Structures are given as structure tokens and as C-alpha cells.
Amino acid sequence: MRAALVAEGGAFDLVTVADPVPQAGELLLRVTSCGLCGSDLKARGVMPAGSIMGHEFGGQVIGIGADTSGWVEGVQVAVLPVASCGTCAWCRAGDVVHCSSVQLMGLGGRPGGFAEFTVVPATSSFAVPDAVDPVHAALVEPYAVGLHCVQASQLVAGDDVLVIGAGTVGLTTIAWARQRGAGRITVVDPVAERRVSGAAFGATDTLEDPEHATPNAYDVVVECVGKPGLLNRCVAAIRPKGRIVVAGTCAEPDSFWSIAALMKEAVIRFAVYYSPAEFHTVIDAFASQSINPRPLVGRETELTELNEAFAALAANSINGKILVTPSQAK
């Protein structure tokens, strides 16, 4: 099969490698599509040479390992890119990402979706109905991130919501906040085109800078950027007893005025990844069309153009998700 392998320096080499073979409890997929995200951009420079990245993917079942019941070939699946033990307390509770033996697909633990074929645990695979465009199976993962943020916020109908950042996480968070009946939804982003996208996904108001957010005006604030200083802005924006969800990955120390959060009795919660239950919810929403995944797609490209796609992602020149279709071109 063709696969994009990480080369020295973080570029990708398109090479031919042996087709993977599913073992017991595994499925062999023909990868239909695989999305690029900011975490891929950050991770590729530290990934071992020869790694197959890509953690936002879906595919068609074309092989079934031994002792793997309940599956037939031809089914389209979305993949939750976490391989866990399945038996620990975290796994039994449905929080597979916190399993102590977790392996992340496409981010170093197991091969991901930047290849024509890949092998995944059946327990990490979720059947996608025929009503859903197979290409959109790769969008289940990013929409599950947004759903996880909204659920972490304990949003109720009528809540006023501030979303900082109109990238993929921000946009999917807005979509779910709108679907869950939020009142006013304000999106903050310095890029005008992204603010337009935020409005298209359901935001009622747009701001260029979080400093422009009205103080004490929001029940929920979701921070999707990850830069020092933003937590203070979140605290300033919420009402007393408001809820803050931090989903942005900040790699620097970030001090904030805890007394302001204390006096408001603010709830500050961090959110990462998603659960199997949230994957099911996203797929059901795609199938019922209560969430339309198509507007998230900014560009579709081929595996042969992966380096160019990463360059576009780094330059922030594509508004929306870049989807790679590994099996499309030969």
C-alpha cells in the first residue's frame, strides 16, 4: 500500500509498504478520508521517522481479524483514535482516553490514517450509516471534540456562550451549543474570515479580541486557543457561578488572578478528547442531519499532496478542515 511516512525534519515521504494484516479483535480499513489538525502540525516534528500519522479518519471495513464478531466487510466506520485495554475502571466507565495503557493512533502509539489501509481495534470503530457521506466519517472526531467541550460546560438551553477561537474546535463547539439551545453565542477570533465562519456555524455575535467581550455577561466561556492571558479574559467575561471550559493547549505557564475566579465562584474545567458515547451522539446527529458536517470542510486533497497540505495548515491559508483521501489517486 501507499503510505506517508514521517521523514527527518517532519516532512512526509510517500512510499510503498506492506499491507497491514488485522489480528484478533481488529479490523482492516481502506481509509476513506483523514483530516489534518493543529496537533498534527505540532507533533510531526517530534514523531519517530517512519511513523504513519493521521488521527482523524474513517474508512471501509475490508478485512476482519479472528475472534471479531459483529462486523461485516463493506461497512463504513469512524475511528476513535484511542486503543485502550477495555477492562480497567476508566474503560468500563467509558473514559477510554484515561486508560493507563492507552495507545494513540496516528500520534505515536499506533499507525494512523495517512495511508491507503490501516488496522484498528474493533472496539475503537463506530459504524456510520449509509445516509452519511463516507468522506464525512473523518469529521466525527473533530465534532466529538466540540461536543465534549459543550458537555463539559454543562450548557443548558438559554445560556449565553462565549467561544474564544474559531478554528475547528471553536466551530464545532459553536455548532453543538446552537444545537443544544444556547441563547447568545459570541465567537472571538482576530481573523475576519474565521469570524464569518463562526457566524455561519451559529454564532450570533462576533468579536476580534477577547478584551472586547462584555464583562460579567456569559454563563459559559469555552477557550479554544491556548495562549497565556486568556484564562483571565474568561474569568472576566463570565457571570457569577459561570463555567469556563479550557480546551486550548497552552504550552507555556499561564498565571491568572485566582481571586477574581474565587469571588465569582467560577467553575474552571479542562477538556480533552472525547468518549465512545460522544462518538455515537455525533454519528446520530450526522445521520439525522441535526448537525451538518459539510461546512467544516475547507479543502479535499490527496495523499500525494500531504506536504503541501501541511504547509497550507501552517500558513493558516485554508479556512476549514483539510481532508486527505488516501485511496483516491494512484
Mean pLDDT per 10-residue section of the chain, whose length is 330 residues: 90 95 97 92 88 96 95 97 94 93 91 97 96 96 98 98 96 98 97 94 96 97 95 97 94 89 97 96 97 94 94 85 79
Same domain, 124 and 148: no
56-64 vs 76-79, strand pairing mode: antiparallel
Same domain, 102 and 149: no
The domain that holds 247 is classified in CATH as 3.40.50.720
Residue 99 CA, chain-centre distance (Å), reads 19
Same domain, 148 and 212: yes
Same domain, 120 and 24: yes
Same domain, 256 and 300: no
The predicted pLDDT at position 42 comes to: 83
CB distance 128 to 134 below 8 Å: yes
Domain boundaries, position 101: 2-133+293-325
In a domain, 138, yes or no: no
The domain that holds 316 is classified in CATH as 3.90.180.10
DSSP E strands, the chain: 2-6, 12-16, 26-35, 56-64, 76-79, 82-83, 103-104, 117-121, 125-127, 161-164, 185-188, 205-207, 218-223, 238-246, 267-270, 297-302, 321-325
In a domain, 127, yes or no: yes
The predicted pLDDT at position 155 comes to: 98
In a domain, 282, yes or no: no
CA angle 211, 217, 221 (to 5 degrees): 70
The predicted pLDDT at position 329 comes to: 46
In a domain, 287, yes or no: no
Q: How many domains does the chain have?
A: 2
The predicted pLDDT at position 330 comes to: 43
In a domain, 6, yes or no: yes
Nearest-angstrom CA–CA distance, 213 and 234: 9
In a domain, 72, yes or no: yes
The predicted pLDDT at position 39 comes to: 85
Same domain, 147 and 128: no
In a domain, 276, yes or no: no
Q: Is the dihedral of CA 251, 260, 269, 170 positive or negative?
A: negative
CB distance 248 to 229 below 8 Å: no
Same domain, 13 and 128: yes
Same domain, 239 and 148: yes
Same domain, 14 and 127: yes
In a domain, 44, yes or no: yes
Same domain, 7 and 100: yes
The predicted pLDDT at position 328 comes to: 59
